[in-house]
Chain A
Amino acid sequence: MVEPVLSLRNLSVEIPTRHGIVKPVDGVSYDIGAGEILGVVGESGAGKSMAGNAVIGLLNPPAHIAAGEIWLKGSRIDNLTGEAMRRLRGKEIGMVFQDPLTSLNPLLRIGDQLVETMLTHLDISQSDAEKRAVSALEEVGIPGAAERVNSYPHEFSGGMRQRVVIALALCAEPSLIIADEPTTALDVSVQAQIIALLRRLCRERGTAVMLITHDMGVIAEATDRMAVMYAGRLAELGPVRDVLSHPQHPYTHGLMASTPLASAGKSRLHQIPGAMPRLDSVPEGCAFNPRCPYTTEKCRQAPAPRPESTSAACWYPLAREKAS
């Protein structure tokens, strides 16, 4: 078994509030291997971004890791000091956020930003870094890269800017990229370009990618495995093909069925009754039990079992042939 690049072991994040402790991430475990894209889906407030922030050590206090471990390439990183974490970020972990404008310094030429990142994290000379900056831009498909290194972020269009952010995330040759809703702010045609780019880079360089999104279509097209989160917990984890075509968790099944795509030709969309619980009032037992059509007494009392490598966190997983 090859060692995964990133490994979350029973990770919990807690935020103490006036009304008690809330757990935006609650006992989540998953691995991402080299060259693999793991999609993390969930509705807003499901904890998908919070797990990513925990990995890069960017939790806003008072949020903190309360339990569990994070391993990156065989070493534990959840207990690192701020300084050690800062060195790791950028060097080993690259980040791509939803809004490309906020990830780029508007006052610096993009070439300088690339060079600065490389000089900080790689042992290379200034002139090498400048050459690498041009090739990094070429690699993400920016036409006329040699001239464009001297442009400022505002001179790029939205899609091109997101490419620059990806080049910036990749230039220190990290082993893991965390992409949090990288295409949400982009148009459909540009979104397709960015997804194709991420997949190509991941395949060619063997970078592990955590792709956080709410868009099932993006997950289907871009990822190898997917994790479905609900109320801070992992609901289902498995190869994307299995999870999307034969969801075993009733929540995943309901979520899939409620996309307009899945209901093509029907006059009404499938509905999951109710809404995801607020984090300060997650029900006892399985978090999904009040909305689940198959709930029994057991679901109301005992928390659902943790998903193993490919199954659902459910006492009564849907049989493969039943869910279609």
Chain B
Amino acid sequence: MALVKIQNLTRLFDVSKPWLNRMIERREKAFLTAVSDVDFQVDERSTYALVGESGSGKSTIGRMLVGLLPPTKGTVEIDGIDLANETDDAKIDKIRADIQMIFQDPFASLNPRWRVRDIIVEPVAARGGNTDGLAEKLLEQVGLSVMDAGKFPHEFSGGQRQRICIARALASEPRLIVCDEPTSALDVSVQAQVLNLMSDLKDNFGLTYVLISHDLTVVRHMADRIGVLYLGRLVEEADPQDLFESPKHPYTKMLLEAAPRMDGFGREVTPPDGEIPDPINPPSGCAFHPRCPVAEDICKRDRPAMRALGGARVACHLAD
């Protein structure tokens, strides 16, 4: 059963100069296409990972998923309810409690002037729910001490702060948690602790995760299904096993090849060519064609549609 259903999701950002400058310089409005025609589904109680480099639109998708940003086109349905177009307040309120988010920077995601107890119970307190002993219970569940409830965020290390963020995310008993680079600000040994905690909580509470990350190793460890993004477009979607052992899209291949390996002593890789193009003026056809080693004429002309290939889905004219 799919908990999250995303269709033709597109998001543009207005990056035009101010109105007066445009009038004087006679420029058109300029738009940055952060997300372009993305669709995928996330099954209940599974972990769906979105990977991509900077500018791939993964964080923008995450923010549209939780309703922090309205889509320009397309729909995000969570449990059949579309937050951007739903008019029934009761339904919106219910679905808001079902979605939570864990952010990247554990130093910016906790209000420095609030005590930990107040931070953790806010999702419940804001709805007028009963918060007696809730913070203490959640702190223990994420491996912190009951004594910590009265402290301020600055008294904690990065890993402990991320645990507090997780506790806050759990407070409203959500079904879906969107994790935006949850461990990229953490050291390796702390990352292991946080990832293990996330796995345990998922099993204990039957959570569904959408994991956003640029780190292929984290994604491989955590995900049940992986979507690879390039320049705002979903280029490949597959199970971890398939994706890492037989990547179909040339971009996925390039990404896997370029990622450093622990056993790659003195490995001489031919580094990939070029860098990610400007999202304001993306290349025609397939966005990857200027860097693609196998590109043909059709790749410059037509944008490839997503098609099924084995257990995977891939947006490439030439993949087989």
Contact = CB atoms under 8 A, between A and B. Distances in A.
Nearest to B264: A221
Contacts of B159: 275
Contacts of A256: 262
A80 interface: no
A51 to B, nearest CB: 17
A2 B193 CA distance: 44
Contacts of B269: 192, 196, 221
Contact of B271 (A189, A218, A245, A260): A189
Contacts of B191: 258, 260
Q: Which 8 A-B pairs rank lowest in CB-CB distance, beginning with the nearest? A: A217-B260, A258-B192, A43-B187, A260-B221, A187-B53, A193-B271, A192-B258, A269-B192
A12 B144 CA distance: 34
Nearest to A275: B157
B261 interface: yes
A188 B53 contact: yes
Nearest to A267: B199
Given A188-B216, A268-B196, 12 more contacts: A187-B276, A189-B275, A192-B258, A215-B260, A221-B265, A240-B265, A244-B263, A258-B188, A260-B191, A260-B195, A263-B221, A271-B193
7 contacts: A43-B190, A188-B53, A195-B260, A214-B187, A244-B263, A256-B262, A271-B196
A230 B54 CA distance: 31
B258 A188 contact: yes
Nearest to B159: A275
B234 to A, nearest CB: 18
Contact of B188 (A158, A189, A214): A214
Which of A192, A240, A259 counts the most chain B CB atoms within 10 A?
A192
Interface in B267-281: 267-269, 271-272, 275-276
Contact of B214 (A187, A244, A255, A260): A187
Contacts of A84: none
A254 B266 contact: no
Interface residues of B, number: 42
A193 B265 contact: no
A241 B265 CA distance: 7
B188 A259 contact: yes
Contact of A44 (B187, B265, B268, B271): B187
Given A260-B221, A275-B157, A189 B261 contact: no
Contacts of A193: 271-272
A255 B221 contact: no
Interface in A161-196: 187-193, 195-196
A122 to B, nearest CB: 30
Nearest to B251: A189
A240 B271 CA distance: 22
Contacts of A271: 189, 192-193, 196
B218 A187 contact: no
A267 B195 CA distance: 10
B262 A244 contact: yes
B125 interface: no
Which of B159, B193, B221, B276 counts the most chain A CB atoms within 10 A?
B221
B262 to A, nearest CB: 5
A189 B263 contact: no
A259 B265 contact: no
A7 B93 CA distance: 63
A196 B57 CA distance: 28
A218 B199 contact: no
